[in-house]
Amino acid sequence: MASFPLAVKMVMIDLDGTMIDTVPDLAAAANRMLADLGRPAWGIEHYRAWIGNGVPRFVKRALTGEMQAEPDPELFEQALGPFRRHYGEAVSNLSRPYPGVVEALEQLTDQGYSLACITNKAEAFTLPLLKNLELHKYFKLVLSGDSLPKQKPDPLPLQHACRHFGIDTAHGVLVGDSSNDVHAARAAGMPVICVTYGYNHGHDIRQSLPDAVVDSLMEVPQYLKLYV
């Protein structure tokens, strides 16, 4: 485990479940997609457990009701396009930043850290969401799920961000909400702080052994000091 305060220059922050509660819009889009197919809707708590591995897997979970099951390929192809359309039309209608997120971003920026948003969400949804909720201005780099050949839990996005800012991986920190974030950070050789809320498939994030656990992004700055 890392020792605190962490000496870092860059703070990478996950999007869904860490900065923004996106479930309401994702659930609404998925249920509209299911209605198009003549299938019954799911309750919002199902969708909370299904977020975190990108749009295709999310759609497959909505179709099957299971985490790793594979739906009929033809059905999946019929579903994916309508889901993307429905979600793209309403990506920020109901989604909102969690309490303390804007204040934390302001504080981290004022303290001199470079901020990057690293998410598995497709860019077509990531950028409008950040811009519509006026969060885009805080980030010097945004890496979406389709920005690079691999996404979290692969370390590539984290390594790419470090190269972008010209720093060693030890001088970055990832803030996330899921085991994906912990695995990506460990593989990249950097510390990771996780929030207690968010989307971790119904599991307590403490089981994944992040370096620290916080109830609000407002707590993150106390774990950091600027590396110079």
- Angle between helix 179-188 and helix 156-165 axes, rounded to 10 deg: 60
pLDDT for the residue numbered 133: 98
DSSP state of 189: T
The rounded distance, in Å, linking the Cα atoms of 17 and 8 is 23
Strand-strand pairing, 172-176 and 10-13: parallel
Region 53-70 average pLDDT: 94
Q: Is the pLDDT of residue 19 over 90?
A: yes
pLDDT for the residue numbered 53: 82
Region 93-118 average pLDDT: 98
pLDDT in tens, 206-223: 999 999 999 999 999 999
Q: Is 154 a catalytic residue?
A: no
pLDDT for the residue numbered 54: 82
Q: Is the pLDDT of residue 111 over 80?
A: yes
pLDDT for the residue numbered 201: 87
pLDDT for the residue numbered 10: 98
Contact residues for 32 (Cβ-Cβ < 8 A; gap 6+): 82, 86
User: Of the residues 14, 16, 21, 25, which is catalytic?
Assistant: 14
Whether the link from the prior residue into 5 is cis, omega within 30° of 0, is yes
The rounded distance, in Å, linking the Cα atoms of 70 and 139 is 36
As given in the structure block, the two tokens for residue 46 are: 């199902």
The rounded distance, in Å, linking the Cα atoms of 93 and 173 is 30
pLDDT in tens, 126-152: 999 999 999 999 999 999 999 999 999
